[in-house]
C-alpha cells in the first residue's frame, strides 16, 4: 500500500465547491472528509476507478452543502509521490 499524507484546509462555503473540484482533478487524493466543526458532513474515498462514476453526484452534493453559509474543514489524504 502506498504511503499517504494528510492535510487540513479551512474553506468558506463559497469556496467549498471549487476547492473540492480542484482536489479531485489533482488525481492524488485518496480520501476526502468534509467537516463542519466537529461533525463529519461527508466522507468520500477517491480511488481512480470510483472518481469517474462519482464526480457528478459528488459535486452536486458539495454544491448543496455550499448553499448553507458556513465554514468547513477539508481533511485530505493524499498518496505520496516518489
pLDDT digits (tens, 9 = 90+) for 27-53: 788 888 989 888 898 888 876 545 566
Is pLDDT above 80 for 9? yes
Instruction: Identify the three-state secondary structure at position 22.
Output: helix
Is pLDDT above 60 for 19? yes
**pTM to 2 decimals?**
0.76
CB 42 within 8 A of CB 61: yes
First to last CA, the chain: 13
Is pLDDT above 90 for 61? no
| Main-chain dihedrals φ then ψ at residue 12, nearest 5 degrees | -85, 165
Amino acid at each position: 500500500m502506498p504511503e499517504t499524507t494528510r492535510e487540513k484546509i479551512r474553506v468558506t462555503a463559497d469556496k467549498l465547491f471549487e476547492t473540492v473540484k480542484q482536489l479531485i482533478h489533482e488525481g492524488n487524493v485518496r480520501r476526502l472528509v468534509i467537516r463542519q466543526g466537529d461533525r463529519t458532513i461527508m466522507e468520500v474515498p477517491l480511488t481512480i476507478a470510483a472518481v469517474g462514476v462519482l464526480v457528478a453526484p459528488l459535486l452536486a452534493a458539495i454544491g448543496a452543502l455550499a448553499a448553507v453559509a458556513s465554514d468547513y474543514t477539508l481533511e485530505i489524504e493524499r498518496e505520496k509521490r516518489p
